Amino acid sequence: MVYYFCSVISSTSNLYLCTKHSCNAMQKLLTLFFCLIGLQLSAQTTLPSVQEVYKIFQNKCTSCHSGATPAGGLDLVGTGATELLRAQNVATKLVNVNPANAFAASQGYKRIYPGRADRSFLFRKINRGLEPTIGALHANEGSEMPKDFPANALSDLEKEIIRQWILFGAKSTGTLFSKSVVETFYNVGGEKSFPDGPPPGPAPGEGFQIKMGPFFLAPDGEVEYYQKWELTLPEDVEVNGIDFKISPFSHHFLLYNFTGNGANSIPAGLRLNANHNQINLVAAVQEATDLRLPGKTAFKWDNNLVLDLNSHYINYSLTKPYQCEAYVNVYTQPTGTADQEMFAALLVNPQIPIPNSGDLVTHTKSEFELGADSIYIWGLMGHTHKYGRGYKVWKRQPNGQKGDLIYDASCSMGVPGCGSPWYDYQHIPIRYWEPLLPIKWGNGLIHEAQWVNEGPAPVNFGPTSDDEMMVLIAFYTEQPLTVDTEEPKQLEDTQTITVTPNPVNGTATFTLQDNVSSAYEFRLMDMTGQVVLRQSDLQGNIFEIDLTQILPGFYVFEVDGRIGKLLKM
């Protein structure tokens, strides 16, 4: 018998020895091939995330944090027969443990606060600018780490691995995130949701900012995460505006709040499963949207309210990883300012089988509560995925039939009756009413969506972009408003650029709605992130671009920092 076998010489070096019993040249080559495959697979072995973090501690932190009297009373070497056991032992000294620093403890920080890098004292000490929203340490927080900086400085990649472990819940078991995607982003390059840095938060005294992420997507990847977010406000507040800052690669962002004990069973950190119980919708958007509520209305939040953030990102690039982030600017006012509380509802039709026949499929659902009082609608927005072809809402008559058509997602601003209806599932409009629209909820509404599935398989209701949805988001009060209010501020007001016509089949006219004094550049990018058209040295507020040679499809354009989307027919 002739055979080779590969044996491990050292578990730490991962060297392999090919031993001969009897052989020929071809067998040697085959054996060498399989030995090399074994070596490669061994080198690619994925370690638990806590162990990856532990390795960084050993390389950069244990010169001070070890021995009988470790700095800050924190030993980062740990005990245990294996590296993993030592890593898990160190985690018990960090996760949800109060810091020795009195000021940090008074702020509610933990050495490691699962899910929250901003409230993790260890990360605050090593941050050194990686997370710009954290800022400089308070004088009472002590010095940055490591103390022998820059000799033992942590690289941005090392700090990111620690941050990712925290954001995914600082668990002691399991591979919580893809280290290889993070390494590619830092060592090779990638795209960012906010390449110019975080958007500014509300001014002091006007509110606060919430950040979700970053998390990293491989090329052509897609993910939807939830994250429990505990507020620690000095007092109860009224929320009169929520400005959602998300990138064009974001599919949607939803904001919920837990009620009762609903948050107690939800783990900290980014998670894939909603596990929703005892929860209310606060707001839902599909693109960057500044929701400024009508005057005399507000959401009412307790100082210790627990929110649930829901972010869905798609990496349209086929070659680069994507750093996903979302920011929520919350604008507040003192309690007692608003006359009416604003509510939000998610009206869902989960029964929407859609065969892949290429035919138009319609599903309709009534929403009402017999005997209920009237509600007063401020805004409506439909939601489907890529096979969607339309979304409409009617008042429901007492006999259950359709009454007045009040919302058409194929028209600008959702107002029915437009001359050239066009449904863009990625930019479904919100329709606002001021004064608010009274609806007898005993009669209710009827909403209807349509799809054409020309894909490879039938689809039904589901969370990914390859599934479909039929969801109506409604903002409303339970009492009427009798005061005049300002028009709600929307994306069109803040984007400061328009394109006509849209959809476009030839030449498009772009209008910048504010003065531009210097030359600027136009870039058109496809949904993979590749620049397909660039034109420089543009001047003035109005210019034309010939798109005749551009292939049909959705595109993102950028002009002097302003971002928009268009459809080429």
pLDDT digits 0-9 by tens, 42-54: 344 689 999 999 9
Q: Which of 104, 225, 109, 208 is nearest to 164 (CA)?
A: 225
CB 51 within 8 A of CB 82: no
DSSP 3-state assignment of 94?
Answer: coil
Angle between helices 49-60 and 83-92 (to 10 degrees): 90
Instruction: Supply the CATH classification number for the domain 344-477.
Output: 2.60.120.230
pLDDT of residue 512: 80
Of the CA atoms within 13 Å of residue 96, those in its CB half-sphere come to 9
Q: Cα(259)–Cα(99) distance, rounded to whole angstroms?
A: 30
Residue located via tokens 């429901």: 396
- 378-406: per-residue pLDDT in tens? 999 999 999 999 999 999 999 999 999 99
Contact present, 73 and 58 (Cβ < 8 Å): no
CB within 8 Å of 384: residues ≥ 6 apart: 391, 425, 428, 449, 451, 468, 469, 470, 471
| pLDDT per residue as tens digits for the range 167-178 | 999 999 999 999
In the chain, where the domains are located = 4-43, 49-177, 192-341, 344-477, 496-568
Measured CA to CA in angstroms, residue 487 lies from 185, 248, 293, 407, 429 at distances of 42, 25, 9, 18, 15
Top CATH class of 496-568 equals: mainly beta
Q: So what's the pLDDT on residue 534?
A: 86
What's the confidence (pLDDT) of residue 76? 97
User: Buried b / exposed e across 309-331, counting CB within 10 Å, b at 16+?
Assistant: bbbbbbbbbeebbbbbbbbbbbb
Q: What is the pLDDT of residue 566?
A: 78
Whether the predicted model's global pTM rises above the 0.85 cut: no
> Largest Cα–Cα distance of the chain, in whole Å?
95
**Angstrom distance (rounded) from CA 470 to CA 354:** 11
> In which region does residue 170 sit, left (phi positive, over 0), alpha (psi from -120 to 50) or beta (all else)?
left
Say which DSSP state 296 is in: T
Nearest residue to 347 via CA among 319, 323, 368, 322: 368
Distance CA 535, CA 547 (A): 12
Rounded Cα–Cα distance for residues 111 and 105 (Å): 9
Half-sphere exposure in the Cβ direction for 229 (13 Å, CA): 22
pLDDT in tens, the chain (569 residues): 332 223 332 333 333 333 333 334 444 443 334 334 333 433 446 899 999 999 999 999 999 999 999 998 999 999 999 999 999 999 999 999 999 999 999 999 999 999 999 999 999 999 999 999 998 999 999 999 998 778 889 999 999 999 999 999 999 999 999 999 999 999 999 999 999 999 999 999 999 999 999 999 999 999 999 999 999 999 999 999 999 999 999 999 999 999 999 999 999 999 999 988 899 999 999 889 999 999 899 999 999 999 999 999 999 999 999 999 999 999 999 999 999 999 999 999 999 999 999 999 999 999 999 888 999 999 999 999 999 999 999 999 999 999 999 999 999 889 999 888 899 998 899 999 989 999 999 999 999 999 999 999 999 999 888 999 999 999 999 999 864 444 444 433 334 677 888 888 899 998 886 666 666 788 887 755 567 888 888 888 888 999 999 988 778 788 876 777 777 87
d(CA 434, CA 567) in angstroms, rounded, equals 30
Q: What is the pLDDT of residue 485?
A: 40
Domains 192-341 and 496-568 share a fold: no
Instruction: Provide the token pair at 275.
Output: 């596990």
CATH placement of domain 192-341: 2.60.120.310
Other CB atoms within 10 A of residue 265 CB: 9
